[in-house]
Amino acid sequence: MIVFKYIAEVLFYAFMILTFMGGFMAVRSRLLMHAVLGLAVSLLGVAGLYFYLGSPFLAMMQVLIYVGAVCIMIVMGVMLGNTPDQLAYKNFEGRNTILAAFACALGFVALYVAIGQAKFAPAAEKVGDMSIRFIGESLLFQYCLAFELISVILLTAIVGAIILARGGREEEAK
Protein backbone atom coordinates (compact mmCIF):
# COMPACT_ATOMS: atom_id res chain seq x y z
CA MET A 1 0.00 0.00 0.00
CA ILE A 2 2.91 2.35 0.62
CA VAL A 3 3.95 1.94 -3.01
CA PHE A 4 0.56 3.27 -4.17
CA LYS A 5 0.96 6.33 -1.95
CA TYR A 6 4.29 7.13 -3.59
CA ILE A 7 2.89 6.52 -7.06
CA ALA A 8 0.04 8.92 -6.29
CA GLU A 9 2.49 11.57 -5.09
CA VAL A 10 4.67 11.11 -8.17
CA LEU A 11 1.59 11.46 -10.40
CA PHE A 12 0.53 14.63 -8.60
CA TYR A 13 3.95 16.21 -8.99
CA ALA A 14 4.17 15.07 -12.61
CA PHE A 15 0.83 16.70 -13.44
CA MET A 16 1.83 19.84 -11.56
CA ILE A 17 5.16 20.09 -13.40
CA LEU A 18 3.39 19.42 -16.72
CA THR A 19 0.97 22.26 -15.99
CA PHE A 20 3.65 24.78 -15.02
CA MET A 21 6.05 23.86 -17.82
CA GLY A 22 3.26 24.07 -20.41
CA GLY A 23 2.26 27.48 -19.07
CA PHE A 24 5.87 28.63 -19.12
CA MET A 25 6.21 27.46 -22.71
CA ALA A 26 3.00 29.24 -23.68
CA VAL A 27 4.12 32.52 -22.14
CA ARG A 28 7.75 32.50 -23.26
CA SER A 29 7.52 31.25 -26.85
CA ARG A 30 7.76 33.73 -29.70
CA LEU A 31 5.98 31.63 -32.30
CA LEU A 32 2.23 31.14 -32.21
CA MET A 33 2.32 27.40 -32.77
CA HIS A 34 4.72 26.90 -29.86
CA ALA A 35 2.54 29.04 -27.59
CA VAL A 36 -0.56 27.04 -28.50
CA LEU A 37 1.28 23.78 -27.92
CA GLY A 38 2.38 25.02 -24.50
CA LEU A 39 -1.19 25.98 -23.67
CA ALA A 40 -2.45 22.55 -24.71
CA VAL A 41 0.19 20.84 -22.55
CA SER A 42 -0.70 23.04 -19.60
CA LEU A 43 -4.41 22.30 -19.98
CA LEU A 44 -3.71 18.58 -20.22
CA GLY A 45 -1.79 18.87 -16.95
CA VAL A 46 -4.80 20.54 -15.34
CA ALA A 47 -7.00 17.72 -16.65
CA GLY A 48 -4.58 15.25 -15.07
CA LEU A 49 -4.89 17.09 -11.76
CA TYR A 50 -8.69 16.87 -11.99
CA PHE A 51 -8.40 13.16 -12.64
CA TYR A 52 -5.97 12.78 -9.72
CA LEU A 53 -8.43 14.57 -7.44
CA GLY A 54 -11.10 12.00 -8.26
CA SER A 55 -13.16 13.87 -10.83
CA PRO A 56 -12.87 12.10 -14.16
CA PHE A 57 -15.91 13.98 -15.50
CA LEU A 58 -14.19 17.34 -15.02
CA ALA A 59 -10.98 15.92 -16.47
CA MET A 60 -12.76 14.82 -19.64
CA MET A 61 -14.60 18.14 -19.91
CA GLN A 62 -11.26 19.92 -19.54
CA VAL A 63 -9.83 17.92 -22.41
CA LEU A 64 -12.90 18.22 -24.62
CA ILE A 65 -13.66 21.89 -24.05
CA TYR A 66 -10.35 23.59 -23.40
CA VAL A 67 -7.91 21.42 -25.34
CA GLY A 68 -10.51 21.14 -28.11
CA ALA A 69 -10.85 24.91 -28.15
CA VAL A 70 -7.10 25.13 -28.62
CA CYS A 71 -7.61 23.58 -32.06
CA ILE A 72 -9.90 26.45 -32.99
CA MET A 73 -7.33 28.89 -31.67
CA ILE A 74 -4.69 27.27 -33.86
CA VAL A 75 -6.86 27.68 -36.95
CA MET A 76 -7.63 31.31 -36.19
CA GLY A 77 -4.01 32.01 -35.27
CA VAL A 78 -2.70 30.52 -38.48
CA MET A 79 -5.25 32.44 -40.53
CA LEU A 80 -4.80 35.79 -38.80
CA GLY A 81 -1.36 35.60 -37.23
CA ASN A 82 1.95 36.68 -38.65
CA THR A 83 4.23 34.27 -40.42
CA PRO A 84 7.69 33.75 -38.93
CA ASP A 85 9.12 35.92 -41.74
CA GLN A 86 6.85 38.80 -40.74
CA LEU A 87 7.70 38.76 -37.05
CA ALA A 88 9.55 41.82 -35.82
CA TYR A 89 11.12 41.19 -32.44
CA LYS A 90 10.80 44.25 -30.26
CA ASN A 91 13.07 44.94 -27.36
CA PHE A 92 11.40 45.69 -24.05
CA GLU A 93 13.55 48.65 -23.14
CA GLY A 94 12.86 52.06 -21.74
CA ARG A 95 9.22 53.02 -21.64
CA ASN A 96 7.86 49.52 -22.35
CA THR A 97 9.70 48.06 -19.35
CA ILE A 98 8.38 50.75 -17.03
CA LEU A 99 4.81 50.32 -18.30
CA ALA A 100 5.06 46.53 -18.01
CA ALA A 101 6.37 46.75 -14.43
CA PHE A 102 3.63 49.23 -13.51
CA ALA A 103 0.92 46.99 -15.04
CA CYS A 104 2.27 43.95 -13.16
CA ALA A 105 2.38 45.84 -9.87
CA LEU A 106 -1.14 47.19 -10.41
CA GLY A 107 -2.45 43.70 -11.20
CA PHE A 108 -0.74 42.25 -8.13
CA VAL A 109 -2.23 44.93 -5.87
CA ALA A 110 -5.70 44.42 -7.38
CA LEU A 111 -5.53 40.65 -6.82
CA TYR A 112 -4.17 41.09 -3.30
CA VAL A 113 -7.01 43.47 -2.37
CA ALA A 114 -9.65 41.24 -4.02
CA ILE A 115 -8.43 38.11 -2.24
CA GLY A 116 -8.10 39.97 1.07
CA GLN A 117 -11.68 41.24 0.93
CA ALA A 118 -13.23 37.99 -0.33
CA LYS A 119 -15.42 36.00 2.01
CA PHE A 120 -14.78 32.33 1.41
CA ALA A 121 -17.54 29.88 2.27
CA PRO A 122 -16.66 26.77 4.22
CA ALA A 123 -16.19 23.64 2.16
CA ALA A 124 -19.07 21.92 3.97
CA GLU A 125 -21.69 24.13 2.30
CA LYS A 126 -22.83 22.78 -1.07
CA VAL A 127 -25.02 24.52 -3.60
CA GLY A 128 -26.21 21.24 -5.14
CA ASP A 129 -25.37 17.60 -5.04
CA MET A 130 -22.72 18.11 -7.79
CA SER A 131 -23.35 14.68 -9.26
CA ILE A 132 -23.04 14.08 -12.97
CA ARG A 133 -26.82 13.91 -13.24
CA PHE A 134 -27.24 17.30 -11.49
CA ILE A 135 -24.59 18.93 -13.68
CA GLY A 136 -26.07 17.41 -16.84
CA GLU A 137 -29.60 18.56 -16.00
CA SER A 138 -28.32 22.04 -15.14
CA LEU A 139 -26.47 22.31 -18.45
CA LEU A 140 -29.46 21.05 -20.44
CA PHE A 141 -32.20 23.04 -18.74
CA GLN A 142 -30.91 25.96 -16.67
CA TYR A 143 -27.85 27.05 -18.68
CA CYS A 144 -28.87 25.87 -22.16
CA LEU A 145 -29.41 29.37 -23.57
CA ALA A 146 -26.03 30.60 -22.36
CA PHE A 147 -24.20 27.74 -24.07
CA GLU A 148 -26.18 28.21 -27.28
CA LEU A 149 -25.34 31.92 -27.33
CA ILE A 150 -21.66 31.19 -26.74
CA SER A 151 -21.64 28.71 -29.63
CA VAL A 152 -23.29 31.27 -31.95
CA ILE A 153 -20.73 33.92 -30.96
CA LEU A 154 -17.88 31.46 -31.57
CA LEU A 155 -19.30 30.51 -34.97
CA THR A 156 -19.63 34.20 -35.87
CA ALA A 157 -16.02 34.82 -34.85
CA ILE A 158 -14.78 31.91 -36.97
CA VAL A 159 -16.77 33.03 -40.03
CA GLY A 160 -15.56 36.62 -39.53
CA ALA A 161 -11.96 35.44 -39.28
CA ILE A 162 -12.33 33.48 -42.51
CA ILE A 163 -13.80 36.50 -44.28
CA LEU A 164 -11.04 38.79 -42.99
CA ALA A 165 -8.29 36.33 -43.86
CA ARG A 166 -9.62 35.72 -47.38
CA GLY A 167 -10.09 39.45 -48.00
CA GLY A 168 -6.56 40.24 -46.85
CA ARG A 169 -5.02 37.62 -49.14
CA GLU A 170 -7.02 38.81 -52.16
CA GLU A 171 -5.80 42.38 -51.62
CA GLU A 172 -2.18 41.18 -51.35
CA ALA A 173 -2.51 39.27 -54.61
CA LYS A 174 -3.60 42.37 -56.55
* pLDDT of 173: 52
Sign, CA torsion 8/11/13/19 = negative
Phi, psi of 169 (to 5 degrees): -75, -35
Count: domains in the chain: 1
DSSP state letter for 48: H
Q: For 78-118, how does the pLDDT look when each residue is reduced to its tens digit (9 = 90+)?
A: 677 666 665 555 544 566 778 888 999 999 999 999 988 88
Residue 141 lies in a domain: no
Residue 132 lies in a domain: no
Specify the CATH number for the domain of residue 69.
1.20.120.1200
Residue 111 lies in a domain: no
| pLDDT over threshold 70, residue 58 | yes
Residue 140 lies in a domain: no
Residue span of the structural domain in which 50 resides: 1-83
Residue 74 lies in a domain: yes
Task: Label residue 145 by pLDDT band (50, 70, 90).
Answer: confident
Residue 93 lies in a domain: no
Spatial separation of the C-alpha atoms in residues 88 and 82, rounded to whole Å: 10
Count of CA atoms in the C-beta half-sphere (13 A) of 31:
6
Residue 149 lies in a domain: no
Residue 26 lies in a domain: yes
Q: For 113-144, how does the pLDDT look when each residue is reduced to its tens digit (9 = 90+)?
A: 998 888 876 655 555 677 778 877 877 788 77
